[in-house]
Chains A and B, each alone.
Chain A
Amino acid sequence: MSAEELGFDPTLKKKKKKVVSEAPSASASPAPEKESLDDLFAGAKKKKKKTKAKKEATDDNDNTDELTESFEGLKLKKKKKKKGSKASESADFEKALAAAGVQEEDSGKLYDERQKETFIPYITLLDRFYDVLREKNPEMAGGQHQKLKIPPPEVARDGNKKTVFVNVQVIAHVLQRNPEHLIQYLFAELGTSGSIDGEKRLVIKGRFQAKNIESVLRRYIQEYVICKTCKSMNTELKRESTNRLHFIVCKACGSTKSVSSIKTGYQAHIGANRRKRV
């Protein structure tokens, strides 16, 4: 819109920064290995910034998109990339190993040859770095958090008036939440009650479709699972015994945020109870 608004846009600032940090890395790419290693870290920072800026620019919409992705069980983007560069990576690694071996045996003799062999293109080094990073520390890789694969809710009808939510336990487990907490939320949001049957499935009073349950699940995830700081779903819900508050503790970035407890809210007395109660 207006120029003023653009000026306040945090993404713009980030972009500017990025351009600045890009310049040295580009010029230094053909430099010796030590320096290019430093560059790799600079590159990591740079990439992170980029993705962060992207994240910030696309807010809640993006979030729900990600949820959709995880519900549909899409494969990780990272994995695809990994496959492509795997072959070249191992080859490079062998090369590097061989070079290192040579270096230890006789340092001065094969100097020229070694230099020829140790030259690895910057891009390959970068790929290798990211592969290692992803393997050892997936949360850090490019700021791209690991996408949880949430199975779609399986819903069955129990007679005419009840709905069975078959895989509550599995979903609660994937979300790293106590099933009871999730169930409490479901009941509060759907304005109903229910029970757990012998197979640990959830029997809900009332008729609900899978898409209904899914939309409630989405809201649960938004409110009680996703880290508000880094949008990771790898979080824990902890209860502080001193103040009886619940906190989301992020396993990716370590941030904590308090969340409100689940309130059932007002429930109208329906049917036979209605007249007796008042």
Chain B
Amino acid sequence: MSNIQNLKSFDPFADSGDVETQPTNYIHIRIQQRNGRKTLTTVTGVPEEYDLKKILKVLKKDFACNGNIAKDPEVGSVIQLQGDQRLKVMQFLVKQLGMQKKNIKIHGF
């Protein structure tokens, strides 16, 4: 039992709550090939506080493509869009939703 009060006051390894130090919550934008030349863009890791349905609605209109929201037990809600919309999605996330580019990872070729 340590009764030294000084040592208890500050834990240097405690979670500071600083977002900068938690790079785990990336937004991943991926691409998958479907049959033929068709592709599918998936967006995972969008924070829960955003209304995905509203985002999807805007994206579908902006990019003139179809899309839907899938539920995944591991990563939660996923936005799926038809075609390769990766760059456009990233621009949207950065410009319209004010997300930081370094927290977005684009995968694929």
Residues of A near any B CB (own CB < 8 A): 161, 188-192, 205-208, 211-213, 215-216, 265-268, 270-271, 278
Contacts and interface: CB of A to CB of B under 8 A. Distances in A.
Contacts of A213: 109
Contacts of B72: 266
Interface residues of B, number: 20
B109 A192 contact: no
A268 B107 contact: no
B107 A265 contact: yes
Contacts of A266: 28, 30, 42, 44, 72, 74-75, 78
**Chain B residues touching A, majority SS:** strand
B107 A270 contact: no
Contacts of B78: 266, 268
B17 interface: no
Contacts of B31: 191
Interface of B: 28, 30-35, 37, 40, 42, 44, 70, 72, 74-75, 78, 80, 107-109
Contact of B30 (A208, A265, A270, A278): A265
Contacts of A188: 107
Contact of A268 (B37, B40, B108): B40
A161 B36 CA distance: 7
Contact of A189 (B35, B44, B107): B107
The 6 A-B pairs with the shortest beta carbon distances in the complex, nearest first, are: A212-B109, A206-B33, A191-B32, A266-B44, A266-B75, A189-B107
Given A265-B28, A268-B80, A192 B33 contact: yes
Contacts of A265: 28, 30, 44, 75, 107
26 contacts: A188-B107, A189-B107, A189-B109, A190-B33, A190-B108, A191-B30, A191-B32, A191-B33, A191-B42, A191-B108, A192-B33, A211-B109, A212-B109, A213-B109, A215-B109, A216-B108, A265-B75, A266-B30, A266-B75, A266-B78, A267-B30, A267-B42, A268-B42, A270-B34, A270-B35, A271-B34
A268 B35 contact: no
Contacts of A211: 109
Given A191-B30, A266-B75, A267-B30, 13 more contacts: A161-B35, A190-B33, A191-B42, A191-B107, A192-B32, A205-B33, A215-B109, A266-B28, A267-B32, A268-B78, A270-B40, A271-B34, A278-B70
Nearest to B71: A278
A204 to B, nearest CB: 10
A161 B37 CA distance: 10
A197 B109 CA distance: 23
